Amino acid sequence: KAGVTQTPRYLIKTRGQQVTLSCSPISGHRSVSWYQQTPGQGLQFLFEYFSETQRNKGNFPGRFSGRQFSNSRSEMNVSTLELGDSALYLCASSSTGGYTGELFFGEGSRLTVL
Amino acid sequence: ELKVEQNPLFLSMQEGKNYTIYCNYSTTSDRLYWYRQDPGKSLESLFVLLSNGAVKQEGRLMASLDTKARLSTLHITAAVHDLSATYFCAVDSRTGNQFYFGTGTSLTVIP
């Protein structure tokens, strides 16, 4: 069974640009959530989607957005990049819609903003 | 906001020794998760603890949950070098799959 797939794995952008990251969940999983990992702030929840609807959003500015498609694949977008957005962005999928869900994480997309 | 604290943050231990990592959280929850992360890698699920008193063991690792004390422990028995990694505990928010992660414990096992 294929795991969670994230693309791209690495990318470099400059301040002011925007970036789109993609996540394909485990087949059959309908919940996709996104986390930002930095050395200073640790792992922080960005948002979660279930059946194309955003159910939860973390404490991040509106520059961070996401969406989920009918096949459960998800994208997140960061506009007007800032240096502080440099991080590992992790996508996780879960099979359940409730809060029983064990999260399965992808390898992450490592974003560097110059 | 739910807060999750782990200690210690850094742990250096000799092979063959035992040690415990502690995870405290700030609000009622009966679901706690432990993950392992190797450098530059993603998070690997280790244990899912779903009720008070839950205990799970896998190899040299054993995790337990005390929901009344809001405390989980990850006990390492007879450490080996392969256990060197960063370990995170996480608590879910009960609103969908929003997890709150601890700060992580960076474990180094020295031969």
A102 has a pLDDT exceeding 90: no
Q: How far is CA B24 from the centre of its chain?
A: 10
**B21/B88 Cα distance (integer angstroms):** 10
Q: Write the CB contacts of B49 (distance below 8 Å, at least 6 apart in sequence).
A: B31, B32, B33, B34, B56, B63, B64, B65, B72
**pLDDT for residue A97:** 58
B51 has a pLDDT exceeding 90: no
**pLDDT for residue A100:** 57
CB-based contact (8 Å) between A106 and chain B? yes
CB-based contact (8 Å) between A58 and chain B? yes
**pLDDT for residue B94:** 72
- Closest to B42 (Cβ–Cβ): which among A48, A101, A105? A105
Higher pLDDT: B29 or A79? It is A79
- B3 φ/ψ angles, rounded to the nearest 5 degrees: -120, 140
**A91/B106 Cα distance (integer angstroms):** 22
Which tokens belong to B21? 């990592």
Q: B55 - beta bridge partners?
A: B64
CB-based contact (8 Å) between A55 and chain B? yes
A1 has a pLDDT exceeding 70: no
Assign A98 a pLDDT band (cuts: 50, 70, 90). low
| Ordered DSSP codes for B44-102 | EEEEEE-STT-EEEETTEEEEEETTTTEEEEEE-S--GGG-EEEEEEEE-SSSS-EEE-
**pLDDT for residue B13:** 92
Average pLDDT, stretch A103-111?
95
B72 has a pLDDT exceeding 60: yes
A92-96, A109-113, B62-66: segment of lowest average pLDDT:
A92-96
**For chain B, what is the mean pLDDT?**
92
DSSP SS3 for B1:
coil
CB-based contact (8 Å) between B41 and chain A? yes
Average pLDDT, stretch B27-53?
89
**pLDDT for residue B81:** 95
Average pLDDT, stretch B72-76?
97
Which tokens belong to B110? 């020295």
Assign A95 a pLDDT band (cuts: 50, 70, 90). confident
Portion of chain A with pLDDT greater than 70, in percent: 94
Average pLDDT, stretch A13-38?
96
Q: What residues 89-108 of chain B have any CB closer than 8 A to a CB of chain A?
A: 90, 92-104
